[in-house]
Amino acid sequence: MEVITPSGRYPALKYADFRYFWIGQFISNTGTQMQIVAINWQLYVLTHSPFALGMIGLSRFIPIAVFSLLGGSFADVHNRKRIQFITQTTLAILSLALALTTIGKIINPFFIYAVTILAAITTSFDLPARQAMIPNLVEKKDLANAMSLNVIMFQVSTVAGPAIGGFVIGYLGVGTVYLFNALSFGAVITSLILIKNTGEPVIHDLGTKASISIHSILEGIRFVRSKTLIWSTMLLDFFSTFFASATVLLPVYAESILHVGPIGLGFLYSADSVGAVAAGLAIAHTGKIKKQGVVLLSAVGVFGLATILFGISSNYILSILALIILGAGDSVSTIIRNTIRQIETPDYIRGRMTSINMIFFAGGPQLGEFEAGLLASLVGTPLSVVLGGIGTLIVVGTVAYGIPTVRKYHGHNA
């Protein structure tokens, strides 16, 4: 994966449209990450139940599983900028509702779940449109660099968001976090106004335009099935994150195991992203990665081992270190997987590919959160996390030897 070109280490940033979009997403995702910490903390304070935390994951997964394929079809038919104007505004309204009910002291777990479900439905339409637009904002030769920068942007916001969120919860209250997130969606809306790209999907090479229909959805599924590298990395993504979804249990660790409170919780949420940013920057500066399939599998293996380390730790510093290593492994695998999928997929079907991938990359951790919460309520939180890490290692071994195409993959620039 070549990420260094004669035009500099970060050539994707020379495109004004990508820069606007990248900055807007950074601000908005920082707010979103703050809100994730706030929701999990508030729900645990209201219920003191790991199972209740796990239900957040299920509340996100079911709408995504039901609506994401439809959202992908929308992204391949309708203007992708217009879709995001609507979805970003809707998400802002939902965050504002959380803020007002929290400040008014009338919020309850049922309302949190309801807003989470509505937000997941909205995201099912937003994410395919957003991801499908990115390859149209840069030239193909700079796409790998754009994907690396996108991962770095996401992970930096995932460092900043929880850390800021922890302090805001501790000093200003949960309602202020929700209010900030509502305002942060304005950054993406502003970037969409500034972007010159029309947002219109590219028509199929044969001259036919996609439609919103069962046939269109099935076309996307058939395409993914025909690309071994795409569906196999989706499966790897799903099962590894299903087993190793320890982050939903961080409030339990902060409150009952590590005893560090909401500010310490913010740093726990940020720790994995510190590792992810470091790994992303290392990739961007290293240049071409050799034997990408082996690197991908090794990175997921590191992710699983770090999850086990975190599970057995009762020391705050060691827990932070384990999460940093976990994030580094996740970042490397994410960059390679995302680049593979975008390069292997033509624009006319990119929205549908993204929507199918959304079920896997969102469904894995969300279902994993439900599984982790349920298992933690039965066998205890540490053992639940350790078993998840072991499950991830089993998945890596199965893919490495059961799907040799992944292991032998060297990269499109090899």
Is the whole model's pTM more than 0.75, yes or no? no
Helices 316-344/350-379 angle, 10° precision: 150
Tokens linked to 156: 């930096």
User: Residue 157: which residues within 8 A CB-CB, separation 6 or more?
Assistant: 25, 26, 27, 29, 30, 32, 33, 273
Q: Mean of the pLDDT values across residues 281-295?
A: 73
Q: Which residue has the higher pLDDT, 386 or 291?
A: 386
Helices 80-103/16-47 angle, 10° precision: 30
- Whether the pLDDT of residue 72 is over 60: the answer is yes
**pLDDT band (50, 70, 90) for residue 345:** confident
Mean pLDDT computed over every residue of the chain: 83
* Tens digits of residue pLDDT in 107-159: 999 999 999 999 999 998 998 888 888 888 888 777 777 877 887 788 788 77
**pLDDT band (50, 70, 90) for residue 203:** low
The predicted pLDDT at position 125 comes to 92
Closest by CA to 299, choosing from 392, 410, 174, is: 392
Q: Which residue has the higher pLDDT, 143 or 52?
A: 52
Residue 209: which H helix or E strand, with range? Answer: none
Rounded to 5°, angle at Cα 36 from 185 and 168: 85
The predicted pLDDT at position 58 comes to 82
CA distance 285 to 224: 31
The predicted pLDDT at position 75 comes to 81
| Strand partners for 5 | 8
| Strand partners for 8 | 5
CA distance 166 to 271: 13
CA distance 32 to 30: 5
Closest by CA to 254, choosing from 171, 306, 313, is: 313
* Tens digits of residue pLDDT in 208-238: 555 566 777 778 788 888 888 888 888 887 8
The predicted pLDDT at position 210 comes to 57
User: Residue 408: which residues within 8 A CB-CB, separation 6 or more?
Assistant: 293
